[in-house]
Chains A and B, each alone.
Chain A
Amino acid sequence: MGNSKLYKGSLTTIILKLLETHGKMYGYEITQKVKEITKGELNITEGALYPALHKLEAAELLDVEVAKVGNRLRKYYKLTDKGSVETVNKLKELEQYIRNMQVLVNPKWSIE
């Protein structure tokens, strides 16, 4: 369940939402936070996380900040202004999608 393909299309929205809530985060922290919030149900793989982060960075939705932590460098990701606007749009899209799916899967649940 945790690695279902159903989540794949929502990965960028999940990342954007987490960054909106927590400010800046580093890669490993994102995977752990998702695991923690979903109580281990959803597991973001590294092979999916980093291409998504790099894509968001290239699209200028994320900005990076590098800091030395202990003996190593840590790359933090944070939302740009464009990223904050995109987060709102993506969340709206996702809500709409969930609502539509509910109507399709269980029409009795539909609320006007």
Chain B
Amino acid sequence: MNSQSEEPVKLTKQQLQYIDAYLERSGITYWDVRTELLDHIASAVEEKMTTEHSSFEAALEAVSISFGNHMRNGYVLNSDNSAWVSVGVFSDGEGFKKLQKEKRKQINKKYTKVFCKQLGHVLLSLRFYVEFVLLLLLVYSVSMYNEKLAIGAGMLYLFMPFVWMLYWYIKGEIPKKSLHLQVAALSLILWIDFYGFVPNMYEMFADKKFSFQLYVWSFVFLFPLIKTSFICYNNVRKEYKKYYDLISN
């Protein structure tokens, strides 16, 4: 008699899209965070619909509560703004947001470790030293004619990864709104900020106090760090592009 009802429930594509939109409304704006939560929620909802014969909505509400969210009654103003009208129950998403915050912290820790390991590999690679010598040669040879132009050329060489990033972005090879990619990109952006931390660095470039040597030393210091951050970012980009393509297809 129960063989029909015990058949495992499988959520439809529309129901999965509903959960995805539900997570987004609950503050989970990064697709890579939503992906993991979506699978868990969908599995739990399917289980509840199969074993407890719950409706999709009731099962989703129960699972949402198990994540530490609270259900609240939603109200909107009526058409003539004279009264509040109930629009049903919605999740405050606090539990989901807490998980996302915690995940960001852990990704940060993970990528810091990856960065340190990668820096070791970079400093042991021949390619790094070839590129490093090329940078110094470029700055030195241009400085024979104009020191400020040499610094400009050096900066361009140093921040070449951002040109690649722009190219990938235009080509659509950077999945948007990914927490992993955002954390990986942050370390790269941090190095641009380096010049902002040195007082009057930009003014020094423009006025008489311009110190060619100071800029050259900044290149020596930043080049391995920027290169390492870029390699780490690119590895994360490739990995998450692969996952993004998997869900998009």
Q: Is B175 an interface residue (CB 8 A)?
A: no
Answer whether residue A68 sits at the interface, using C-beta atoms and an 8 A cutoff: yes
Size category of the binding interface on chain B: 20 to 34
List, in ascending order, chain B residues with CB within 8 A of A50's CB: 36, 99, 102-103
Chain B neighbourhood of A66, CB < 8 A: 243, 246
B13 → chain A closest CB, angstroms: 5
CB contact between B102 and one of A26, A54, A69 (< 8 Å): that residue = A54
Interface string of B25-62 (1 = CB under 8 A from A): 00000000001101110111001000000000000000
Q: Which residue of B16, B44, B110 is within 8 Å of A28 (Cβ)? A: B44
Q: Does B10 contact A (CB under 8 A)?
A: yes
In the bound complex, do residue A46 and residue B66 qualify as a contact, i.e. CB atoms below 8 Å apart? yes
DSSP class of B's interface residues: helix, strand, loop or mixed? helix
The reply to whether the CB of A5 lies closer than 8 angstroms to some CB of chain B is: no
Task: Give the distance in Å from the alpha carbon of A75 to the alpha carbon of B13 in the complex.
Answer: 19
Closest residue on chain B to residue A43 by CB atoms: B66
Q: Is the beta-carbon distance between B39 and A75 smaller than 8 angstroms?
A: yes
Contacts of B177 in A (CB 8 A): none
Q: Is the CB of B113 within 8 A of A51?
A: no
Q: Which of B39, B66, B103, B247 contacts A54 (CB 8 A)?
A: B103
Q: Mark B54-85, 1 if CB is under 8 A from A, else 0.
A: 00000000000011100000000000000000
Q: Lowest 3 A-B CB distances belong to which pairs?
A: A54-B106, A28-B43, A58-B110
**25 pairs of residues in contact across A and B, judged by CB atoms under 8 Å:** A26-B39, A26-B43, A27-B36, A28-B39, A28-B43, A28-B44, A45-B68, A46-B40, A46-B99, A47-B95, A50-B36, A51-B99, A51-B103, A54-B106, A55-B106, A57-B110, A60-B110, A68-B246, A68-B247, A72-B39, A72-B247, A73-B38, A73-B243, A75-B35, A75-B36
